[in-house]
């Protein structure tokens, strides 16, 4: 499909309690490349990503999400999307180039769930990105869980329908799948795509705004998810659940926590989505199977723990 406008998730900035401890986790265990440490932040890139960075860690007194960013196709798209956001009543800030190293100007907006999003068009290419001339599968042998890219975030808040509406009406995202309580009409989970992935961002209902449920990293295969489980066990990383599979998105998955308590996911598979596909819907009474297809039940930690 011809991707225009918003292309994909670009980066996420997370708060961590101890930067050195977090660097070891994301570099050595998940397998990201450490690009730089500057201004109290660490910047990482996965081995199959072209851009300079996709993960930013900032040391702070509490864990959680600072902001998530999406890359757009052209600089002019920033003005286009700013106008559309303003047209539906969403405040927009323009951020000059240089707030993050190697990144051009951005526009920033907040959602009703109190999450901060950036759109940007320009980022420097990584010095350790994939080869483009007679390219080998990788340049340097992947480490740890062998994460190939930053894939998506799932975000918690109260009015997830209002937040999802911004992405659909102003940014041309599609709702690929959702979890709905048909009795009350409440949408419990909304999975949005700007591409042909099953989701690029998800909103999950929760009684408190501004929370992040997880940051997800893509792996090549179900075998690699099993390898991630081996890493988790070998280094006594705090496990949430898995390896297992989702009903929603069909992704193969394992969830675990970084040393600060931020939930990570490694994810493979998932169906291919096209905008003309009918929307998939799961009923609330099947929520267990929707989230954990094999277990058919939710654990309390997955539903209540976030940062």
> Annotated catalytic sites, by residue?
152, 199, 214, 246, 255, 265
SS3 70: strand
Q: Helix 160-171 and helix 75-87: axis angle, to 10°? A: 130
Among residues 153, 131, 152, the alpha carbon closest in space to that of 140 is found at: 131
Alpha-helical runs (H) found in 178-258 = 222-234
In whole angstroms, what is the distance from residue 29 CA to residue 237 CA?
A: 9
Integer CA distances (angstroms), 63 to 32, 211, 301, in order: 20, 10, 17
SS3 297: coil
Task: Decide: 168 and 182 in contact? Cβ < 8 Å.
Answer: no
Task: Decide: 291 and 242 in contact? Cβ < 8 Å.
Answer: no
Task: Decide: 157 and 237 in contact? Cβ < 8 Å.
Answer: no
In whole angstroms, what is the distance from residue 261 CA to residue 242 CA?
A: 17
In whole angstroms, what is the distance from residue 31 CA to residue 25 CA?
A: 8
Residue 218: count of CB within 10 angstroms of its CB = 21
What's the residue count for the chain?
307
């Amino acid at each position: 499909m011809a991707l225009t406008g918003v292309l994909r998730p670009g980066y996420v900035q997370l708060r961590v309690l101890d930067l050195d401890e977090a660097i070891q986790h994301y570099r050595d265990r998940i397998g990201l490349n450490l690009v730089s440490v500057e201004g109290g932040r660490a910047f990482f890139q996965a081995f199959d990503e072209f851009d300079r960075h996709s993960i930013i860690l900032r040391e702070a007194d509490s864990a959680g999400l600072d902001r998530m960013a999406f890359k757009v196709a052209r600089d002019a798209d920033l003005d286009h999307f700013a106008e559309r956001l303003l047209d539906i009543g969403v405040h927009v800030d323009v951020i000059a180039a240089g707030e993050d190293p190697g990144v051009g100007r951005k526009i920033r907006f907040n959602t009703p769930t109190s999450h901060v999003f950036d759109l940007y068009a320009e980022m420097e290419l990584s010095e350790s990105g994939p080869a483009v001339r007679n390219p080998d599968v990788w340049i340097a042998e992947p480490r740890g869980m062998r994460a190939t890219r930053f894939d998506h975030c799932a975000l918690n808040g109260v009015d997830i329908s209002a937040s999802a509406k911004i992405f659909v009406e102003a940014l041309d995202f599609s709702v690929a799948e959702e979890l709905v309580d048909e009795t009350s009409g409440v949408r419990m989970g909304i999975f949005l795509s700007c591409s042909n992935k099953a989701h690029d961002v998800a909103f999950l209902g929760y009684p408190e705004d501004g929370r992040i449920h997880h940051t997800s990293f893509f792996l090549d295969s179900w075998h690699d998810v099993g390898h991630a489980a081996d890493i988790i066990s070998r280094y006594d990383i705090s496990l949430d659940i898995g390896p297992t599979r989702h009903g929603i998105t069909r992704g193969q998955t394992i969830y675990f926590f970084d040393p600060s308590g931020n939930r990570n996911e490694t994810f493979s598979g998932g169906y291919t989505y096209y905008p003309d596909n009918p929307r998939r819907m799961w009923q609330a009474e099947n929520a267990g199977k929707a989230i954990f297809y094999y277990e058919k039940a939710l654990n309390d930690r997955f539903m209540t723990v976030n940062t």
